[in-house]
Amino acid sequence: MKDCIFCKIIAGEIPSQKTHHEGNLFVSFLDIHPRAPGHTLLVPVEHHTWFYDMPDELSDRFFRTAKKLAKELKAKTGADYVQMSIIGTDVPHVHAHLIPRRFGDKLPAL
CB atoms inside a 10 Å sphere around CB 44: 23
Give the pairing of strands 18-22 and 96-101: unpaired
pLDDT for residue 101 is more than 80: yes
**pLDDT tens digits, 18-37:** 886 767 899 999 999 999 99
CA angle 68, 93, 99 (to 5 degrees): 40
pLDDT for residue 8 is more than 70: yes
Give me the percent of the chain exceeding a pLDDT of 70.
Answer: 94
Return the pLDDT at 17.
86
Is position 48 annotated as part of the catalytic site? Answer: no
Of the residues 39, 48, 93, 95, which is catalytic?
A: 95
Residue 30 phi/psi, 5° resolution?
Answer: -70, 140
Cβ pair 56, 70 in contact under 8 A: no
